[in-house]
Each structure stands twice: as structure tokens, then as C-alpha cells.
Chains A and B, each alone.
Chain A
Amino acid sequence: SAVISQKPSRDICQRGTSLTIQCQVDSQVTMMFWYRQQPGQSLTLIATANQGSEATYESGFVIDKFPISRPNLTFSTLTVSNMSPEDSSIYLCSGANPGLPGLSTDTQYFGPGTRLTVL
């Protein structure tokens, strides 16, 4: 299984600022995803991070608010821009290698999450 780390683990930010969250995987993964977990809620997919091209965003999420980079197969960043208190959430990244022989097909492994509080 892949081991995924995230930095920072938590942060407290001021309204109007931006925060970039880093996600590092210990092995190459084909697909990486970013999720948001609002307080007391389930996980909602923000976007699929595509290597070498623009991320694919889910309905309700836009690139200007959540720009994503994925420079290689082991690393991705998510930026939460122009933050407001409504952005206070846990942000999780995940990685998966769907369909590759010998690997866990379509199993997503999650990072520990970044707990963001916006004041």
C-alpha cells in the first residue's frame, strides 16, 4: 500500500489569506485526489489532480479558489485561496493506482489530512 503524508498537519489562518497544502506519496501513483471534510460532515471530492495538466474539478469547486498542482507522480499541492471561515475543514489527499497488475486495483490510500481553521 502507498503511504501518504501531508503538510502542514494543521493551521490557523486569517480571512483573505491563502494556504498551500502539500501531499507526498512514497511511491508513484497514477491518480491523486483532493477531498474536503467540513466539520461533522462526510468527505466531498474537490478535484482530481492530473500530472502535467490542469486538475479536473467537481461541481461546486473552481480552479481560482482551489488551484492544484501535480508536477510528478508522487507529489501534489492544493491551495485554498482568499480564505473565509467557511473554508474551515479537513483537507485530505489520496492516491490510487487503478488497474495496474499486482497492485490493489482502485484502492485509494489517504493522507492524514490537514486541519484548517480560518478566523
Chain B
Amino acid sequence: AQSVTQPDIHITVSEGASLELRCNYSYGATPYLFWYVQSPGQGLQLLLKYFSGDTLVQGIKGFEAEFKRSQSSFNLRKPSVHWSDAAEYFCAVGRIAGGTSYGKLTFGQGTILTVHP
């Protein structure tokens, strides 16, 4: 069964500082990996995704993530955090084409990001 672990429940950074949110996954095949962001009272917005190819993927709002197969990780990074980045971030893994679980996403527990001025 697929699973996702986000080890950090809550992270606090100062505005302008760099950010790294950790995500580890367990999956029996090549995973599809996603990062979503959820602002208070909002739905989920896709930040970026990895399907194949270049292991460093760029997303919206200046975010990037690196897929490391050897470490089963897909950490999210941003070089300089803005106050508007304060939100909850979810890592998710999904299945590639085929099989009964096709298209389903398994989410991590989420990491709440607080940004200090």
C-alpha cells in the first residue's frame, strides 16, 4: 500500500529565509508525486508535480521540489519565503496508469507553515 510521511507537523520561518518541507513516500512502483497548498478556509491548489524526467521540478509561486528515488523523498523548497506563503502544505502520491487504484491520491498529514515578519 502506498503511504506518505511528512515528518514536520509545524514549521516556523522568518520572512526572506529559505524553506524546505520534507516528504517521504512508500510506493511499489514509479510514483506520481504532488505538492498541494491549502490556505485557511480554501481548497487545495497544486504547486507542482513529478511524473518522470528531470528530478528537479519547478512549480508556481517560486517553489521547487526534488525527487530522490534512493531516499524515497520529494522535498519542497523555496529560497526566500514570503508572508503570503503561510498555509498548510500537503505532499501526495498517486498511481500511474492501470490498476484499480488508478488516479487515487494518498496524502501526507500536512505541514503547517508559519511565517514571521
Contacts and interface: CB of A to CB of B under 8 A. Distances in A.
Interface residues of A, number: 27
A90 to B, nearest CB: 9
Given A92-B43, A113-B43, A45 B104 contact: yes
A42 B43 contact: no
Contact of B105 (A1, A45, A112, A115): A45
Contacts of A42: 90, 107-110
Contacts of A41: 109
A98 B110 contact: no
Contacts of A44: 107
Contacts of B96: 106
Interface of B: 32, 34, 36, 41-46, 49, 51, 90, 94, 96-97, 100, 102-110
Interface of A: 1, 4, 31, 33, 41-45, 48, 56, 92, 94, 96, 98-99, 104-113, 115
